[in-house]
Amino acid sequence: MSQLVEPYVGIDYHWQSARDGSKRAHEWAGAIGVMFHLAPTYDLSVPYEGGIDGKNMGVSNNFNMRFAWVF
């Protein structure tokens, strides 16, 4: 798009081992978002993540905002 706006897609894998009587759990989730380069050391990303497949775990369905300060 431009040097200031960067779209992206991603895939995440969430995993939890079994312990204290709980079962093993996992989930694949897909993400799509936009990163805004606000300054040379500041970035803001706005992604949506939704669950694709999983077992023994709640399905992801979230919208996030992340701020990064790189130094």
CATH (domain of 58): 2.20.200
For residue 18, what pLDDT band results from cuts at 50, 70 and 90?
confident
What are the pLDDT digits (tens) for 28-71?
A: 999 999 999 999 999 999 999 999 988 887 888 999 999 999 88
Q: Which domain holds residue 33?
A: 5-69
The pLDDT assigned to 25 comes to: 92
For residue 19, what pLDDT band results from cuts at 50, 70 and 90?
confident
More confident position, 27 or 58: 27
Dist. CA 34–CA 32, nearest whole Å: 7
How many structural domains does the chain have? 1
Separation in Å, CA 63 to CA 42, 60, 66: 20, 10, 10
The pLDDT assigned to 67 comes to: 97
Q: Could you tell me if 38 and 67 are in contact, meaning their C-beta atoms sit under 8 angstroms apart?
A: no
